[in-house]
Structure 1
């Protein structure tokens, strides 16, 4: 396996794997201190995972809202807000 892939696999194993033993955690910390690029790569990978998790939650929320709209219709007051917006727009036109 290429060295970059091995490095990425080690980072993923640390970030996603089971909780390391105290010795393994200490070894990882020492490695990160001795190799600043490893620390930067691990931080970037962690940010990537967090971004993917947020995007997944946002997509799931949108899908659940769409299902809710299909089952129960638009939220109450939706038509009222739209009508009020239209009235405001008409009033602005007449004030000019």
Structure 2
């Protein structure tokens, strides 16, 4: 595996995993020996936050669209019910004539 991918895998394991005490200690040693690791880790953490926010925004948009569709359906149903009610009221009168 390429070194860059190994590094990314290491960072992901730290950010997304649940490290044991031994792994956490090893991480601290790596941070001490590799000054760029903290910067790379922070960049990856910010990327994850951005992806999470984008996902939430997309979900909110989808939920808003569903809500609008349901509200539109309810309005159409209310209109249809009102129209049918009016027809039912008028129909008996029209049949009596």
Residue 54 in structure 1 maps to residue 53 in structure 2: yes
Q: CA deviation at 1:33?
A: 2.1
Scaled by the length of structure 1, the TM-score of the pair is 0.71
The structure whose residues are more often helix, as a share, is: 2
RMSD: 1.0
Equivalenced residue count is: 72
Give CA deviations for 1:43-91 in whole Å, capped at 9, x if unaligned.
1000000000000001100100000000013xxxxxxxxxxxxxxxxxx
Question: Using the alignment, how far apart are the partners of 1:14 and 1:52 within structure 2?
Answer: 18
- Larger radius of gyration between Structure 1 and Structure 2: 2
Q: Which runs of 4+ in 1 moved over 4 A?
A: none
Per the normalisation by structure 2, the TM-score is 0.70
What are the ranges of 5 or more consecutive residues in structure 2 without an aligned counterpart? 73-97
Q: Where do 5+ consecutive residues of structure 1 fail to align?
A: 74-96
The corresponding residue for 1:13 is 13
Q: Give the match for residue 39 of structure 2.
A: 40
Q: Deviations over 1:4-46 (max 9, x none)?
A: 11111111111112x1111211110221122111111111000
Q: Distance in 1 between matches of 2:28 and 2:70?
A: 51
